[in-house]
Amino acid sequence: MTLDAATPAIAEVCVVVSARERYATAGRMLEALQEHTPIPFRLVVVATGASDRYLAAITAALARHPAAEIIGGPHFLQPNAARNLGFASVREEFVFFIDNDCFPRRGCLDHLLAVARSNGE
């Protein structure tokens, strides 16, 4: 189950995706993230200095995720600076950072949230 129009828009976690390397994997990574994450989440993709091809791939992958936004600017940012830019958009209680060339396993976000809650957040 992924977040869709029938899922409540209230999410307690924001996933921030930053561009690292292997830009060609970004569309597949975003689709895998949505497919393997059964809990509601808001998604922020930081796309600074992105090519038109990269923007088209991430826009297509995000078409079915209404709680997603793409932020960025014309100049490439190093990964940590991109994460900081994404973090500035977070309003949820928890944030999960992932690079565009990492493929999450099914339920990874559920597991991380459970650990955070059990350790007093």
Q: Is the model's pLDDT at 89 over the cut of 70?
A: yes
| Strand ranges in 1-121 using DSSP code E only, listed in sequence order | 13-18, 42-46, 68-71, 94-99
Q: Which residues pair with 43 in a beta bridge?
A: 15, 68
Tens-digit pLDDT profile for residues 21-33: 677 788 888 889 9
Using DSSP's 3-state secondary structure scheme, residue 98 falls into: strand
Tens-digit pLDDT profile for residues 34-49: 899 888 899 999 988 8
Q: Do residues 40 and 94 lie in contact, with contact meaning Cβ atoms separated by under 8 Å? A: no
Q: Which H helix or E strand runs over 26?
A: helix 26-35
Residue 6: which pLDDT band, with cuts at 50, 70 and 90?
Answer: very low
Helix ranges (H only) for 1-121 are 26-35, 52-61, 79-87, 108-118
The secondary structure of residue 121, as a DSSP letter, is -
CATH number for the region 13-118 comes to 3.90.550.10
Model-wide pTM > 0.95:
no
Alpha-carbon Rg of the chain, whole angstroms?
14
Cα 100 to Cα 102: distance, rounded to the nearest angstrom:
6
